[in-house]
Each structure stands twice: as C-alpha cells, then as structure tokens.
Chain A
Amino acid sequence: MASRSEAIDTAAIVRQSLHGRRFSPGGLAFELSLLVMLLVSLAVLVTLLADIISGALPVFRDRGIDFVTSGITLDSATAGVWTGLVGSVGIAIIVAVIAFPLGLGAAVYLEEYAPDNSLTRFIQTNIRNLAGVPSIVYGLLGLAVFVRLVDLIGLGGSASTGGRNILAAGITLAVLVLPIVIITASEALRAVPDTIREAGFGVGATRWEVVRHHVLPSAAPGVLTGTVLALARAFGETAPLLVIGVATGFFSAGSAGLFDRLTGPYTALPVVVLSWSRQADPAFKENLAPAAILVLLVVLFAANTAAVVLRNRYDRKW
C-alpha cells in the first residue's frame, strides 16, 4: 500500500515539475531584480545624457553651428570648440598614420608568419598586457620618452614648446591604441578561413602573395573596423595628454602654418571640456562644457556607427 501511494506521489511531482507552476514568485523576483539592474544602468546613462543635452541645448539653439566653427575664447557668448576639434583630428590622423601600419604589420606577422614558439607567445602575452596598461602610464612614457625624442630630432618647436606638441601627442596615443589595433586586426585575419590560403599556396603563390592578394582584402573590413574603434579611443583620451603638456587654458593658433601647428602648442577637444569645467564664468560649466561634450559624443558616435556599418556591410560570413 505504502509503496503504491508513493509511486502516485512521484508521478504527481514529476508532472507538476514538468508543467511548472504558473506562478513562481522566486523566479519572478529574480527576473524582476535583473530587469531593475538593467533599467537602473540605462536610467543612469539617460540621466547623464539628459543632463548634458539640457545644458548644451541653449548653446546650439542660440548659436547653431557657429559654436562648432569658432575657436576658444574667454567670452561665453563667442567661445567655440573648433580649436579643440582641429587638434583632436590632427592627433587622430597622426595616430592612424603610425598605429595602422604598425598594428596591421604586427598582426600579419603574428597570424600569418609567426612560428608557434616562445617568442611568439611572449609577444602575444605582451600585447594583451599592454592593452590593459592605464592610459596615464602611457602619458608618463610620453613625457619621459616621446616629448624628448621629438625635441631631439628638431621637431620640438620653439624652446618654450620643447617637444610638447601635437607630434608627441600623436605618437603617445598611437602607442596607447597600438595593442587594440593589433588585437582587432589579428581577430580579423584569424576569421579568414585557411582554405583561402591553401588555394593560394596550391597555385604556387608565396606567403606574401597570398597575404597581399587574398587574406588582406578579405580581412580589410574587420581591420578597418578595429582601426576606427582605436581612433575613437584616442579621440576621447584626456589623461595622457595632460601629462605630456597639452595646452589647458586659453589657446589660439590663429592662422599659423601647418608646420607651426605640428610643432607648436596644441589643444584637444576633451581637454577643452576639462578647461571649461573650471572657468570662473558659470556659463562655461553650465552650458559650454556640456555643448563641447555633445560635440565629442557626436564624433565618437559617428565613428562607432561607421565601424558597425563597415562590419555589417562588408564582413563576409564564411
């Protein structure tokens, strides 16, 4: 008897478990708490954006594009971000010129040429570690090495600039983003199937010919996506620039020529945000700094969107 009723109970329990209770308070509470976490994260970020946009709106309403195209001034009515934008774009170009070939070259070596030996593994570990080094440490490296190097080879500008110029900034940030470029380019190269390479070798092509004509073109979208993301990172960096002597106050390059711009003092968009947040006139921290942040975010958003579009549009599924 006892055993029989037990069997019935077991069947009932199994059936109940399989159907599940309609209402499971524990499970619902768990799901809700997760949802709350997600919503709080998003709410915080919405607050951040709302705070910045509401501060920035009056500036764009009153001055429109004029805010973007005017230079740094001390009057809240005329100050604009152009000087900072030019500096940041200049830095980004130098970063691209240095980090793209170096990063791609290193990735091609590691993925296509490198034998599986301890040197290769050491280089790979080293690159991963470099990617995690805090940006301010790169600033110290820039101050100790690149600023002096630029001055030493005669590109330091006047004695007062002494190498604290956009070239040194570009080199420092290029070194900072290099690990990102290498890692993303490696991933893109790894995604190219070996059959492509084998087909190339099969018709007698050398490794370089295979890489140049088959692997690189296939990996190009991924490589470019990674590079764009790395440039976006460089565009938003502030701390290393502070350490290597970016101009933090009033700055005007006027109509200086290209060479003077490269070797003379410079400023950058994120630094403009910092310097406006400490101006005495409250209009700077209440409206102009948020407006500058908005310009910065729009540029970064555009770069990120470009990267995503690039990836989705041209990335081949093998």
Chain B
Amino acid sequence: MTAPTGTVDLRGEPRRLRRELRVKRVFLAAAVVSIAISIAIVASLAGNAIRFFTEVDKASLLDVGWFPRRSRFDLLTPIAGTLVMSGIAMLVAAPLGLGAAIYLSEYARPRVRRLLKPVLEILAGIPSVVLGFFALLWIGPNIIVELLNSPKPATILTASIGVGILVTPLVASVSEDALRAVPQGLREASYGLGAKKSTTVRTVVVPAAVSGIMASLILGLSRAIGETMVTFMAAGAVGGALRTWDPLDSGTTLTAAIASVATGSDQVAGEALAFDGVFALGITLFAITLLLNWVSDRFVRRVREKY
C-alpha cells in the first residue's frame, strides 16, 4: 500500500521499529522451540529404534513373549497388553464419564453443577502414581482377588480398572463441555414439539454434541494408552510377559515395559539390544497417540465449525 504524497510518515522512528523487529524475532524463536522439541523427540526415538530394527533377529520380533533380557522381543505382547488394558479402561471410563457428564449438564441443578464441575476438574489432576498405589493395594486385593476370585492380585485387569478411574474425570469434564456447548435453542425447540426431557437429551442434545463426546472418548483412550505408572505398579509382569489377551493374566504394556527397562540408565542387564528395544516401543506408542490426537482434533474442529 503506497501512501499518498503529502501525508505525514506515521511509521515512527527507526529505533522503535528495529526494537519491534528484535522483539518479534524473540517471540518467533520461542514459538519455533516447539518444533525443535518435536524433531528432538522423533530423532531420539527413531535413532535407537532404527538401530534396534536393523540389528535384531527378526524372528525374535514374533516370539512367545516380551522378554528383552532373554532376547525375545515380541512386540505384539506389549501392544496386546496396551490394547486390552486401554479397552477395558474405556469400558469403565466411558459409561461413568458420559453418564456423569450428561447428568451434570442436563439434569443437575445449577448449584450442584457449580459444586461438582470443579471437583471433577481437580480429580482429573490426581497424579497417576496415586492411582497406581490404589490399584496395587486396594483394587488388586479387594476386587481382583476377593470379588473375582483370581489367584493373582497384580493383573492387566487391575491396571485397567485403575486407569479407567484415572480417565473418568477427564472424559466427564470434556464431554460435559461439549454438551454445554449445544445451543439452548435446540433443547427449547425439542420441548416445543412436545418431547420429553429424556427424549430431548437422547435424540437432540447428545447427537448434537456427538463430535465433542467422541473427542472426549478418544482423548481418554489416548491418555489411557499413554498412562505409565498405574500399569507399571499394578499389571504384574511388566518387565517380561508372555503374549496374552486374557485380562486376568499378569502382563505388560508399551509404557510399563519402557519404564521397567529404562529406569534411569541405558545400562541394562542381558541382551545388548534390550535398551534399544525400549525406543522401538516408544516410537510405536508415539505413533499410536499421534494418530489418536489427530483424529480427536478432527472431531473437535467439527464442533467448532458447527456452532
């Protein structure tokens, strides 16, 4: 845009403009740090993971189980453990979280909602080591052994229930936000047509918020898959386990297997590749959660576009 002749130069003194540019560069640098972090994550995971995959005996990648210190690197074992664990965790968290969210958003009195919503948010911040402790010393002996009569207290199911409890407040909080975002007019229109409250909720409000609800479930699933401490403490055979799909077996997950090998050192006993194998698990985990985040992001964006 060229200024018409004769107007005053409003661009200000050069010193100020130079400072302006310097400041902008500083802020740009801060923003670019996040890209550097991503590159560092991918590079540090991929470096060791590639070394692992080139040097490992390919047959040991499909063995009977994940025993890194005995050169049995069955990747399917921790992946199966992760799928079973996060699946059951969501079976716990989805009904509890969604039920709580719908009740709070549609049925609860404003005062109850104002009281419980911050409670949920605070509960969503309970550190995972606390749930790990609870799973190991309460869920294991009381639910798994006493109630289900399993001989082993530390099983994948023990960890699953712990993780399910951990992500319930997250699912509840995020999907409650989505339900609240449904315009009031939609509800009123439904009542105006003579629909009952439960009909309105089931056929109008929940479908309108379905993108946000899906996003909350995917977010919860992603959190469950990436959760470490609960499985590390309560799943039993985290350092090495046979491949199993039975939740009442002791087992391991991607995260717990990483934690039990890489505790503070790249010096672990056994096979030289045991440590590099951890990065192979790490990059698998990274890829899964990245995919889930991408999907959840798509859902969230659809909500934004709608209203």
Residues of A within 8 A of B (CB): 14, 17-18, 20, 24, 26-28, 30-31, 33-38, 40-42, 44-45, 47-48, 51-52, 101-106, 108-110, 112-114, 122-123, 125-130, 132-141, 143-145, 164, 175, 178-179, 182, 204, 206-208, 229, 232-233, 235-239, 242-246, 248, 270, 273-274, 277, 285, 289-290, 293, 296-297, 300-301, 304, 308
Within 8 Å by CB of A41, from B23, B97, B127, B258, lies B97
**B-chain residues with CB within 8 Å of residue A133 when the two chains form the complex:** 41, 226, 286, 289-290
Q: Contacts A137-B45, A304-B122 hold; do A248 and B263 have CB atoms under 8 A apart? A: yes
A134 and B133 contacting across the interface, CB-CB below 8 Å: no
B172 within 8 A of A: yes
**Number of cross-chain contacts by CB at 8 Å:** 266
Sample 16 A-B pairs with CB under 8 A, ordered by A number: A42-B100, A114-B31, A123-B34, A126-B38, A128-B297, A136-B226, A140-B278, A178-B37, A206-B20, A237-B127, A244-B264, A248-B264, A274-B133, A274-B233, A290-B133, A293-B129
B125 and A26 contacting across the interface, CB-CB below 8 Å: no
Closest B residue to A122 using CB positions: B35
Closest B residue to A110 using CB positions: B31
Q: How far is the CA of A103 from the CA of B294 in the complex (A)?
A: 22
**A-chain residues with CB within 8 Å of residue B228 when the two chains form the complex:** 134-136, 238-239
B64 within 8 A of A: no
B204 to chain A, nearest CB (A): 14
A206 and B17 contacting across the interface, CB-CB below 8 Å: yes
Q: How far is the CA of A44 from the CA of B131 in the complex (A)?
A: 11
- Tell which of B66-74, B101-109, B152-160, B244-252 binds the partner: B101-109
A134 and B255 contacting across the interface, CB-CB below 8 Å: yes
**B-chain residues with CB within 8 Å of residue A45 when the two chains form the complex:** 123, 165, 169
B107 and A48 contacting across the interface, CB-CB below 8 Å: no
B147 within 8 A of A: no
Main secondary structure of the interface of B (DSSP, over half): helix
A132 and B292 contacting across the interface, CB-CB below 8 Å: yes
**B-chain residues with CB within 8 Å of residue A140 when the two chains form the complex:** 44-45, 258, 262, 278-279, 282
User: What total of chain B residues lie within 8 Å of the partner, measured CB to CB?
Assistant: 94
B258 and A273 contacting across the interface, CB-CB below 8 Å: no
B225 within 8 A of A: yes
Q: How far is the CA of A51 from the CA of B263 in the complex (A)?
A: 29
Q: Contacts A106-B30, A208-B20, A297-B130 hold; do A134 and B102 have CB atoms under 8 A apart? A: no
Q: Contacts A135-B228, A137-B282 hold; do A182 and B96 have CB atoms under 8 A apart? A: no
**B-chain residues with CB within 8 Å of residue A274 when the two chains form the complex:** 129, 132-133, 229, 233
A23 to chain B, nearest CB (A): 11
B27 and A113 contacting across the interface, CB-CB below 8 Å: yes
B107 and A134 contacting across the interface, CB-CB below 8 Å: no
Q: Contacts A37-B100, A52-B134 hold; do A246 and B264 have CB atoms under 8 A apart? A: yes
A132 to chain B, nearest CB (A): 4
B196 and A31 contacting across the interface, CB-CB below 8 Å: no
B214 within 8 A of A: no
A269 to chain B, nearest CB (A): 9
B241 within 8 A of A: no
B28 within 8 A of A: yes
**A-chain residues with CB within 8 Å of residue B198 when the two chains form the complex:** 24, 26-28, 30-31
**B-chain residues with CB within 8 Å of residue A289 when the two chains form the complex:** 133
A280 to chain B, nearest CB (A): 15
**A-chain residues with CB within 8 Å of residue B26 when the two chains form the complex:** 105
Within 8 Å by CB of A137, from B107, B118, B129, B285, lies B285
Within 8 Å by CB of A132, from B24, B196, B199, B293, lies B293
Closest A residue to B261 using CB positions: A243
Within 8 Å by CB of B229, from A40, A51, A238, lies A238
B99 and A129 contacting across the interface, CB-CB below 8 Å: no
Interface residues of B in 6-64 (CB under 8 A from A): 10, 12, 16-17, 19-20, 23-24, 26-35, 37-38, 40-41, 44-45, 47-48
Q: How far is the CA of A190 from the CA of B232 in the complex (A)?
A: 40
Q: How far is the CA of A41 from the CA of B93 in the complex (A)?
A: 9
Interface residues of B in 120-146 (CB under 8 A from A): 121-123, 125-134, 136-138
Q: Contacts A38-B103, A206-B12, A285-B137 hold; do A129 and B96 have CB atoms under 8 A apart? A: no
B259 to chain A, nearest CB (A): 6
**A-chain residues with CB within 8 Å of residue B45 when the two chains form the complex:** 137, 140-141, 144
B302 within 8 A of A: no
**A-chain residues with CB within 8 Å of residue B79 when the two chains form the complex:** none
Interface residues of B in 153-201 (CB under 8 A from A): 165, 168-169, 172, 194, 196-199, 201
Closest A residue to B16 using CB positions: A206
B197 and A27 contacting across the interface, CB-CB below 8 Å: yes
